[in-house]
Amino acid sequence: MTTLTKRNRRAEAPAERWSNAEEKEEKTDGTDEEQDTDSKSLRLTLMEEILLLGLKDKEGYTSFWNDSISSGLRGCILIELALRGRIQLEPQSSRKRKLLDRKVLVKSSAPTGDVLLDEALKHIKNTEPPEDVSSWIELLTGETWNPLKLHFQMRNVRERLAKSLVEKGVLSTEKQNFLLFDMTTHPLTDSSEKQRLVQRLQDSLLERWTNDWRRMSRRMLALILLAHAADVLENTLSSLSDERYDTASTRSRSLLEADPDLESAKVTTPGEEMIWTVLAAFNRS
């Protein structure tokens, strides 16, 4: 996973939102970007948004050099489940434990309507004893030496997310020949969705910057941290002028370099707690 650098390339851009009962975890606070999102925006999950930010627009695939996006997408799944009220960390005990020492518990096993989320939720529900966040990211990614736990790996996640975006009219499906093999690719067809997503993320670090994450949309806070974990944040900011890029980079680093255990003392919801726990897991990896 790379860090934000001085400057180098280009960028892109777009969208989010979704279902009402599950938005209870997402209460607004007057500066919530989601309230101001164009009404034409699709309801994309965090996983879809991160994949969209990572895809090359014309080529329709993620960079071959990005080895962080797979684990980043698993982090998205855990945060999405927490924001939808399905999972949470086990309660703190009298002896204060660090975020990564607390196990993930199922709060509600009600289906989310999303195949990937429901698959992960089923794994978490059926696992005894429960695992912590770092373990779940590794297990869902398939990074385990325990052959008895290989069945937790979620396969073809990028392809399944891309097909969902095809169904939503954001991507298309093509076949490309790479000398030795053919590969299914998913070029961008609706550039407005990506543009809106990139614009919202950039605005959250510039015009809408609050200097206090508690005044940010929870989903936007998660999106910034997950974009960094999946190594797609720098590209998202690279279309900015040098001065605005430096400002946005500095502000994003103020979030990324915060101590998750200290910030978790300020949380008001299980969803916020999960956001900081996932960041702690990626910081440790």
- Amino acid 199: pLDDT: 97
Give the number of other Cβ atoms within 10 Å of residue 257's Cβ: 9
Residues 6+ apart with CB under 8 A from 80: 45, 46, 47, 114, 117
- Amino acid 66: pLDDT: 85
**C-alpha–C-alpha distance, residues 121 and 144, integer Å:** 19
- Amino acid 204: pLDDT: 97
- Amino acid 137: pLDDT: 97
- Amino acid 169: pLDDT: 93
- The alpha carbon of 77 is separated from its chain's Cα centroid by a whole number of angstroms, namely 7
**C-alpha–C-alpha distance, residues 178 and 194, integer Å:** 26
| pLDDT, tens only, 119-151 | 999 999 999 999 999 999 999 999 888 888 889
Reply yes or no: is the peptide bond before residue 129 cis, omega within 30 of 0: yes
Per CATH, domain 46-171+181-283 is 3.60.20.10: no
- Amino acid 41: pLDDT: 62
Task: Report CA dihedral (43, 48, 53, 57) to the nearest 10 degrees.
Answer: -90
**C-alpha–C-alpha distance, residues 270 and 232, integer Å:** 26
Can you tell me whether residue 235 is helix, strand or coil?
helix
- Amino acid 1: pLDDT: 52
**pTM here?**
0.85
Which residues of the chain are under the pLDDT cut of 70? Answer: 1-41, 178-179
- Amino acid 40: pLDDT: 56
Q: Residue 117 is which amino acid?
A: L
- Amino acid 231: pLDDT: 95
- CA distance to 40, 73, 209, 255, per residue, from 83 (Å): 23, 15, 22, 19
Positive or negative CA dihedral for 123, 124, 129, 132?
positive
- The alpha carbon of 60 is separated from its chain's Cα centroid by a whole number of angstroms, namely 19
Cβ atoms of residues 205 and 247 within 8 Å: yes
- Amino acid 27: pLDDT: 43
- Amino acid 39: pLDDT: 44
Please measure the distance between the N-terminal and C-terminal CA atoms of the chain and give it in whole angstroms.
Answer: 10
